[in-house]
Structure formats: structure tokens, C-alpha cells
Structure 1
Amino acid sequence: MALRWGIAGTGAIARGFADALGRLPGAELVAVGSRGRATADEFGEKYGITPHRRYGSYESLAADDDIDIVYVASPHSHHHEHTLLFLESGHGVLCEKPFALNAGQAAEMVATARARGRFLMEAMWSRFLPAYVRLRELVTAGEIGTVLSVEGDFGFRLPMDPTHRLFDPTLGGGALLDLGVYPVSLASMLLGEPSRVAAFGQLGETGVDEHLAVVTSYDSGAFAVAKASLRANLACAGRVTGTAGSMELPAFMHCPDELVVQRAGTTERLHLPAARDGDGGDGAAETAGGGLHHQARHVHERLSSGHLDSDVMPLDETVAIMRTLDAARAQLGVRYPADNA
């Protein structure tokens, strides 16, 4: 039986996810919701959604009972509001990263999903990509020994525009939540929740973080460094160092096409394209959506097996990541209006 998807939002990430669903067996995109009917119609026309299910409000989308799960692709300043809307109307939710603006919002979203008995997962799509899956397998198998450190950076130079969402504090702007969440999540995946968080950086004229580093340490003695920027073009790579070797996720670390493994003086480059199925060989099929289909497939698998949470991106870990981001923002001096709610 097909899983019926609705999408809340019509921006670039929503289009990418719709492309991915179009190539995923057992997925059916049946409805879309937007802030206005015109954008919903444009999106629906492109993706074959029947006119009467192109909704000009998120509330109308939530009122559609013939949807199994909603992908929340609105700006992250609205993730909390929209996720609660769809959970309370009886739908499962896949919510785009960052999951919320702060840990308080995230905890309420998780509590609501559990109280309502509905599926919920943060759409940290990188975790489901072939390179990340292989990295996690190799670390678990002890192939690089004990993990000592995790490093990652993601940044680009973006011309200052106070109306752009990344510079607008009311929309949760700043490099940390939009870009830094990737290396912070990578560290969390491998090391868990840190015991200490230190953050350093520069704020812009609108009060959001524009260039920063977050250093986290763990009871094991390991540490992680996550850098993010709206002021500079960073390497956009990730690196995991262990006692017996290291692994690198080359640019771009959030959607790598290979994994570089170094052990005992040898270097192995594993070809693991993000946007393909299979191992990148002749049997691999190019997939639209830039690799977003991997997380969608995981949602299908979890729901079909009766689970309401992910074992790859668990809800408790999502809340823990938000606590780390909160601690970093507090040290940087970045506050959002939602922090006072």
C-alpha cells in the first residue's frame, strides 16, 4: 500500500523532496500546502497534484484526512508551529532540519508526537546517505580505533541582505542553525551529547551569527569542532580521527559522493554517490532529489514496521542536538524572539 505524502512549503528543499518521492516506489505525493494558493498551484502543477488538494494555507492541508505523513519544509522559524499543527490533526511528520529554534520547542514537538501516537523524525538527510552509512558502519566496527575527534565545517560567502532569511533573527537566521547543524549532528552521531560546549564567533548587524566555531568535549576525552560561516567560503568537509586511522567526508560534507579512509599508511577512496541507489557501480540508478530519497525510504521502512521514531535519527538525540545549539547560541549572544515564548 502506498504511503500518501503531503508537503508543507513550496521552496527549493520542498521541490527536491518532491522529486525524490517521484522516484521512490510506494510513495505517493497527494497534497501540498503553502501560504498562498498561487504557489500551491504552481507546485501542484509541476508535481501532478490534483487541483483541489493544492491548499493555500497550512491549516487546510492539516484538515486533509487522506494523508499519512507530512514533510514540513517551511522556514525553520515555523517548524514548531507547523509540526504541532500536523501532529494534532493526526498526521505523521518528517520535519526539515534544524528541527526547531530551541530545545524547548523540540521537546514539545516530541512530547506531542508521543502523546498522539504519531511518527516524527528530523529530516537530517545526510545521515541516510551512502557515505554516512558506511562511515558509521566502519566506526562501529572499530576500523579506525577509538574516535578521538570529529571536525566539520560548512560555510559560504553570502552578501549581506537584512531581508534574507539567513540574516533575519525573526526567521531563526544565522550560520549555526542552518549550516553548523550539519557538523554538530555528525559529532552527535559518533560521540553523543557533549559534557561541555564552547562557542566563539562574530555577529552581524542584524544580531545573528555570521562566522563561528563550536567546540564540544565529551566524558570519553574526545572533542569535536564545528565551524560555520556566512562570511567565508569554507572547505565544507568533515573528518573523523581515531586511534587507528581517520575518515574524511570531502566537500560537500552534507551530501558527499565519497568517503576517504586512511589506515596504516594506506588511503582508500570509497565511491558512494549521494544521489544514486546501490554502491555506485553499474547497477546504481541515478535518482532525482539529490539523495533525499534515502531518508524518505527510511521513513517508509520505519512506518511499515510499526515504529513511530527513527533508529538513525532518534528524537531524543534531536532534542539533545538542540540543547547543544542552544548552549552555543547563548555563548555567542544570539537570541530569537521565540526564546522568550
Structure 2
Amino acid sequence: MTAGRIPDDRAVRWGVLATGGIAERFTSDVRDLPGAEVVAVASRREASAKEFADRFGIPRAYGEWAALVADEEVDVVYVATPHSAHRAAAGLALAAGKPVLCEKAFTLNAREARELVSLARERGVFLMEAMWTYCNPVVLRLAELVRDGAIGEIRTVQADFGLQGPFPAEHRLRDPALGGGAVLDLGVYPVSFAHLLLGEPDRVQADALLSPEGVDLNTGMLLGWESGATALLSCSITAGTPATATVTGTTGRIDVPSGFFHADRFVLRRNGSEPEEITAGPEATLHGLQYEAAEVARCLRAGATESPLVPLDGTLAVMRTLDAVRERIGVRYPVDLEG
């Protein structure tokens, strides 16, 4: 049997590493996903792990990460820690031979991302960024229409994601050591959306309002491609934005309403034709994280070590763009000085 392969006749058994809000939403979705179950959870505090396990009916709770990755009944580890801990958590699981689904932003910088990807490829172990947008069927349909020329050649992509705040100085979003700021926490979504449609940009420009701690509070990004396409993107932890996206081509436009990164519908406007609304199916009533979990299961059952929907080379490209944005706006994390 190929390393990491899961037999078709049994459920994929998940171990959840961390107990925050995103871990709760993921666990809730996986519980309702056919052929999947959560069998273990780990936190740095055993009490937190036990409370989480009790709430979701999970058989085992661990007060250390190493115990989770050593659990022989865990097929795949979902890393749901803040991104400042992704390198350590995902690296621990990969070194133990456990497949990993790692939350985004994938790591704090491109160097850490390269280290994880290299480790996974050297060990032949599955690794995927939890970019749920790339597994969303509505977004996939949007990308397919764009590739098929439904709106001609792309000229502009616009997308935003901002939270109202304010976040106090002691919050993790204000801490450089924890990868604070808007770019990694929120900007990863509009940047990834532009990458999905246009690939890695040839030019990156950015401007930002920085906090006294040196993290970005409000950032605007302008990406450019040799094709002539541009992307105007923004992220903020001081202003609530509509979180919409628009893709404009030479023969039409696609509008995605609020929550573009987990879209349940969009409107296709072809020049000279009536608008067409494309919507999701009834399964969209879950949080939307079931799609990435299903893609991981599909890959593991096939014995694959990478997902074609969320390829590792694409994750590395996004991290390079995020690094370039931070360089332009002058945001440095302590980890950037390492290596």
C-alpha cells in the first residue's frame, strides 16, 4: 500500500491539533462528512483538549502535540494553530510520517514554507495547505469559466477582506512574533484568489498603515502580470470591508458577493447577455470546510502526496507574494532574521 493511503472501506481518521475557533468549525464539518471521523485532539493544555473532546465526542485528548502525531489510529493531522506555530506543528507530524492539512497562512514566510514542502517531499508524505477557497465548488466553477474564456482575457481582479477591530496591543494580531497584522491573517485570501486565476505575479506593489508594534493594520496591494492583467487587493484589521471579489475580462465580468473566499454564488455577466447566477448545492449549509477535508480524503485514498486543487508549488508562490508585500510595506517578523 502506498505510504499514507487510506483503504476505501473505512473512514479517514482525523487528529485535530489545536482547539480554537477554526478547529471547532473544521471538526463540526468533518463530523457531518461521510467517510470521515475525528478520533483525537491535542492542545498544549490538556484541559483544553479534554474540554474540546468532550464537546465534540472525540475519543482521545492529548496535552502535547507529540502524542497526537504518534497515535497509530490517526490517519491525518489537521494543524489549526495560529500560523506562527505552523512550521513546528506541521513539521512534527511530517517527521512522524503523518499526512498533514495545514491552515493558512501556511507559514510565517516563504523560507518556512519551503522547509515544510521539502520535508514532505523527502519523506513522501501528503501535505496540503487548508486553502478552502480552492476546494469550494462554486469557486472552482468560476475558475473553470475564466479558463474557458467566458469573460475573455482577464484585465482586473479586485478583492478585499477586512475586520472592524480594533484589536488591543496585546492581541496576537498586533504581535510581530506571532505573525501579526492583516496580510498573513486576511490578505492571504485575496492574494490566493488572484493567484488561482492568474498565477504568480510579475510585479508587486503595496502600501500600508503600520501599528506601533510594526505590523500592518491596513494594506493595499497592486499586483501585475506580463499579460497586462492587474489585481487590486486590500486587507485590514481596522475596518470591516464587504469581502467581495470582481473579475473583469475583455468580454464580461464575474461578481462574487460578500464572503468571496467561501462563495456560495456568483454572477456571470457576459457582454450582450443577461446576467447568470451560479449557486452552490445544499451541502453548502455547512461551514464550507468539508470541501478541503473531502479533497484530502480523496488524495489519501488514491495514495497521492499532493493535491492538484491546492498544489504545493502554488502555496509556495503565494508565500513568495506575501513576503514581497511585507517587504514593500516594511513589516518584519523575528523569524525573518533566522536561517
Secondary structure of 2:261's counterpart equals coil
Distance 1:118 1:204 in 2: 39
The structural deviation recorded for 1:223 is 1.1
Instruction: Tell me what 2:201 maps to.
Output: 194
CA deviation string 1:277-336 (max 9, x = no partner): xx3xxxx34653x11101111111111122111111100110111000001101111011
Instruction: Tell me what 2:4 maps to.
Output: none
* Match status 1:76 vs 2:73: no
* Match status 1:67 vs 2:74: yes
Instruction: Tell me what 1:270 maps to.
Output: 278
Distance 2:206 2:18 in 1: 32
- With the length of structure 1 as denominator, give the TM-score of the two structures: 0.94
Range 258-267 or range 316-325, more displaced: 258-267
Paired residue type of 1:103: A
Distance 1:291 1:249 in 2: 16
Q: Hey, which bits of structure 1, 4+ residues long, moved more than 3 A?
A: 285-288
Return 5+ residue gaps in structure 1 as ranges: 273-278
Distance 1:152 1:286 in 2: 22
Conserved 8 A contact 2:193-2:261: no
CA deviation string 1:149-176 (max 9, x = no partner): 2110000220131121111111111001
CA deviation string 1:119-158 (max 9, x = no partner): 0000011122232011011112111111112110000220
Secondary structure of 2:275's counterpart equals strand
Paired residue type of 1:5: W
* Match status 1:15 vs 2:12: no
Conserved 8 A contact 2:264-2:284: no
Instruction: Tell me what 1:228 maps to.
Output: 235
Instruction: Tell me what 1:275 maps to.
Output: none
Secondary structure of 1:339's counterpart equals helix
Instruction: Tell me what 1:254 maps to.
Output: 261
Aligned pairs for 1:8-157 (under 5 A) are: 8-50=17-59, 53-157=60-164
The structural deviation recorded for 1:271 is 2.3
The structural deviation recorded for 1:65 is 2.2
Conserved 8 A contact 1:214-1:226: yes
Secondary structure of 2:24's counterpart equals helix
Conserved 8 A contact 1:23-1:287: no
Aligned pairs for 1:279-294 (under 5 A) are: 279=281, 284-285=282-283, 287-288=285-286, 290-294=287-291
* Match status 1:302 vs 2:294: no
Distance 1:286 1:100, change over 3 A: closer
Instruction: State the identity %.
Output: 47
Distance 1:329 1:82 in 2: 24
